[in-house]
Amino acid sequence: MDAKIDIRALRKTFKSLPVVDGIDLAVAPGEFVAIVGPSGCGKSTLMKLLAGFEHPDSGAVAIDGVPVTRPSPNAIVISQHGSVFPWLTVRENLMFGLSGKDDAVKRATADHYAEVVGLKGFEKAHPHELSGGMLKRVEIARALAVKPDILLMDEPFSALDALTGLKMRNELLRILREERHTVILITHDVEEALYLADRVVVLSPRPTTIRSVFAVAQPHPRKVSEPALQEMKDAILTQLGL
């Protein structure tokens, strides 16, 4: 099967400082890949390259065989920082990215995805009336509403408390069972990577390259406390120098 995302010999330098130093990775359609690495190794730079916000010095990223040269609605970024417009309601936030449709269709699409992420009844609420977990649901719903093939997630749950983060991870898995997307997740949380992903990619310190790749065969729902996953966690932490 052809790769959905094909990363070849990717390199990026900032002000003579090498940050990404030769990344090669193929991601299959519908695959969930988590990327972990030491702090400051270049994970967020890699995400910007994948999303088209930065251009590589050499190498390339291709989606469905087409080189990525700019951001595309086919690959949506969900970041740790949040991007909900505070002056818009939930419904208006979800309608914002929908173009080329009349208002009735936009409204129906927005309300459908509000329901998908568990926000039915909050369509008219403003962001200041929502909890942190609910705001993250709005971001995910807005990404899904434009029907992208790819979700690029840059530590999306890192600002949430442990219980809310677990709920959001379970919610994400539920959504992915219903609407199949290819996902790349950047995370510093090894247990989160093992809980969610089909493969975990471990990056080296900067200038970053791929140190190792772990396939996670356990079906969902998973318990990270399982001995096999604990062994994998220990191996990943060893790769990270911990």
214 compared with 241, residue with greater pLDDT: 214
Determine contact, residues 44/79, Cβ cutoff 8 Å.
no
Other C-beta atoms closer than 10 Å to the C-beta of 34 total 25
pLDDT of 189 = 92
Two tokens at 200?
Answer: 């975990």
Chain segment 15-37, per-residue pLDDT in tens:
889 999 999 999 999 999 999 99
What is the number of other CB atoms lying within 10 angstroms of the CB of residue 99? 8
What is the per-residue pLDDT across 127-166, written as a single tens digit (0 to 9) for each?
Answer: 899 988 888 888 888 888 888 899 999 988 887 888 888 8
Q: Which two tokens stand for residue 48?
A: 């910007």
Q: Where are the domains of the chain?
A: 5-74+148-239, 85-146
Q: In this predicted structure, which of 1-5, 33-37, 52-56 has the lowest mean pLDDT?
A: 1-5
Cα–Cα distance measured from residue 147 to residue 155, given in angstroms and rounded to the nearest whole number: 21
SS3 content of the chain, % helix, strand, coil (to 5): 35, 25, 40
Find the Cα–Cα–Cα–Cα dihedral 97, 101, 104, 108, rounded to 10°.
-50
Q: What is the pLDDT of residues 187-226, one digit of tens each?
A: 989 999 999 999 999 999 999 999 999 999 999 989 999 9
Q: Which two tokens stand for residue 18?
A: 């090498």
pTM, two decimals, is 0.89
Rounded Cα–Cα distance for residues 127 and 87 (Å): 8
Topology at the third CATH level for domain 5-74+148-239: Rossmann fold (3.40.50)
Residue 80: predicted pLDDT: 74
